[in-house]
């Protein structure tokens, strides 16, 4: 059986049973070009991939029919808040904690495999590539850790705390800092390749697509930078701080702003293609899949729009602000809310399919990989839900 799936990274060819996780072949595309490589059915970094669409095209176990049967398999606690979104690679869950540690947890059992202590809280979501875990800390540093052992390989220190999640593309780690800069680091050595200064704090996690880095800043701007040199290509000024992270697909950049708007910008020019005004701050990072874009707002709603036109398609009201970036897989949208709940919604209609109440708000992105939903919550627990 062969299944063709399109995502921001190119055209995937998945060979094998729909009920089991299989390797896939990734070929280049006009948006994220590169030589064909093999990828596993993993969620390797915030937003699934460097272009941050939040869409896992390889999930076939969970669906609008089966998701109602989700049950908790395990939960792991550090005793401190989780705001870091997990990465799931080769049967291991990687996540940061308010206790200043980065953890590697067995994805099947929830047993801790290793932990690495940084100098301050870890809100950054790990990115895993080529056997290395990259993550930022509020101790101002970016860390590269051996994914199997947790041994430090290198670290790079900026001038302020790092909230954002690294993006790894073509041997380069792209990360932002509260020191107002965007950094490009050599993934093997941590050597600085370039940095670009914005006008204020940068907590937006960069997206990388087609040789361009896209990122928002508290100076109200969305930036497009040459990924190789850091040269400014364009910037678009919104009416308030931008701490949402961009998602890039099919020539459009989707990003939220504190001015209450979700924007769709032309990826080449920065021109506004469409925008939609919600009832409050859009701090959630959008997800894009199958011609639709999904985002949360502080007005308590999760929204779905036509990705090309911005036409509102549905919205779902939760009980509090939604900062959690949606995750999309096989016709289901997964999202957390500050109302202490996580939700699974029908991607086409917004109908509620499943929900679970945690002990506190969930502002991190949920992750869906190999039939399991992973949730990091402010109630100090990392959860795994499966059938």
The string of pLDDT tens digits covering residues 126-182 is 999 999 999 999 999 999 999 999 999 999 999 999 999 999 999 999 999 999 999
Q: What is the mean pLDDT of residues 2-26?
A: 35
Which pTM value belongs to this model? 0.90
Neighbours of 240 (CB within 10 A): 14
Give buried/exposed letters for 38-54 (b at 16+ CB in 10 A, else e). eebbbbbbbbbbbbbbb
Q: What is the mean pLDDT of residues 28-56?
A: 72
Question: So what's the pLDDT on residue 292?
Answer: 98
Asked whether residue 18 carries a pLDDT value surpassing 60, the answer given is no
Asked whether residue 39 carries a pLDDT value surpassing 80, the answer given is no
pLDDT tier at 40, thresholds 50, 70, 90: very low
3 vs 354: which has the higher pLDDT: 354
pLDDT tier at 13, thresholds 50, 70, 90: very low
Is 241:256 a contact under the CB 8 Å cutoff?
no
Is 274:307 a contact under the CB 8 Å cutoff?
no
Task: Give the dihedral sign, CA 184/159/178/153.
Answer: positive
Ranges of each domain in the chain: 2-39, 67-386
Residues 30, 36, 40, 45, Cα dihedral to 10°: -40
pLDDT tier at 96, thresholds 50, 70, 90: very high
Question: So what's the pLDDT on residue 1?
Answer: 29
Query: Which of 148, 147, 166 is CA-nearest to residue 156?
Result: 166
Q: What is the mean pLDDT of residues 16-25?
A: 35
Is 68:353 a contact under the CB 8 Å cutoff?
yes
Neighbours of 370 (CB within 10 A): 21
Range in 38-52, 87-101, 162-176, 309-323 the model is least confident about: 38-52
SS3 assignment, position 295: strand
**Distance in angstroms (rounded) separating the CA atoms of residues 102 and 17:** 34
Asked whether residue 20 carries a pLDDT value surpassing 90, the answer given is no
State pLDDT tens for residues 235-279: 999 999 999 999 999 999 999 999 999 999 999 999 999 999 999
Question: So what's the pLDDT on residue 29?
Answer: 38
Neighbours of 231 (CB within 10 A): 11
Asked whether residue 32 carries a pLDDT value surpassing 70, the answer given is no
In angstroms, the Cα distances linking 123 to 45, 224, 317, 320, 365 are 14, 24, 26, 21, 12
At the top level of CATH, which class does the domain 67-386 belong to? mainly beta
Q: What is the mean pLDDT of residues 98-115?
A: 97
Neighbours of 123 (CB within 10 A): 25
SS3 assignment, position 224: strand
Place of tokens 């896939």: 24
> If you count DSSP H runs as helices and E runs as strands, how many of each does the chain have, helices first?
0, 36
Mean pLDDT of the chain: 91
Q: What are the strands of the beta sheet with 247-249, ordered from one edge?
A: 247-249, 252-256, 261-266, 272-277
């Amino acid at each position: 059986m062969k299944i063709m799936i399109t995502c921001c990274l190119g055209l995937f060819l998945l060979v094998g049973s729909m009920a089991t996780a299989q390797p896939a072949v990734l070929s280049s595309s006009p948006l994220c070009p590169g030589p064909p490589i093999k990828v596993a059915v993993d969620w390797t970094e915030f937003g699934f991939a460097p272009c941050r669409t939040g869409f896992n095209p390889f999930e076939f176990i969970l669906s609008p029919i089966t998701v109602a049967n989700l049950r908790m398999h395990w939960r792991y606690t550090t005793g401190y808040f989780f705001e870091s979104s997990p990465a799931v690679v080769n049967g291991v869950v990687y996540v940061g904690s308010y206790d200043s540690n980065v953890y590697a947890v067995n994805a099947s059992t929830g047993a801790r495999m290793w932990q690495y202590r940084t100098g301050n809280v870890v809100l950054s979501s790990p990115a895993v590539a080529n056997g290395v875990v990259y993550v930022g800390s509020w101790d101002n540093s970016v860390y590269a850790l051996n994914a199997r052992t947790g041994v430090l390989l290198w670290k790079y220190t900026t001038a302020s705390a790092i909230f954002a999640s690294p993006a790894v593309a073509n041997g380069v780690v792209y990360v932002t800092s509260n020191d107002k800069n965007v950094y490009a680091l050599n993934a093997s050595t941590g050597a600085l390749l370039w940095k670009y200064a914005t006008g204020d704090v940068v907590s937006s996690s960069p997206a990388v697509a087609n040789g361009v880095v896209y990122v928002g800043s508290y100076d109200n701007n969305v930036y497009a930078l040459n990924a190789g040199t850091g040269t400014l290509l364009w910037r678009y000024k919104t009416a308030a701080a931008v701490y949402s992270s961009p998602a890039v697909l099919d020539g459009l950049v989707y990003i939220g702003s504190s001015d209450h708007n979700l924007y769709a910008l032309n990826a080449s020019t920065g021109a506004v293609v469409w925008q939609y005004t919600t009832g409050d701050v859009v701090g959630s990072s959008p997800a894009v899949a199958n011609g639709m874009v999904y985002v949360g707002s502080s007005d308590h709603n999760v929204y779905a729009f036509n990705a090309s036109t911005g036409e509102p398609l549905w919205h779902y009201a939760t009980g509090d602000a939604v900062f959690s970036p949606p995750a999309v897989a096989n016709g289901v949208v997964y999202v957390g809310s500050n109302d202490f709940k996580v939700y699974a919604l029908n991607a086409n209609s917004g109908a509620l399919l499943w929900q679970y109440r945690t002990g506190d708000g969930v502002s991190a992105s949920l992750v869906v990989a190999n039939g399991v939903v992973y949730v990091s919550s402010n109630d100090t627990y990392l959860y795994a839900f499966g059938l």
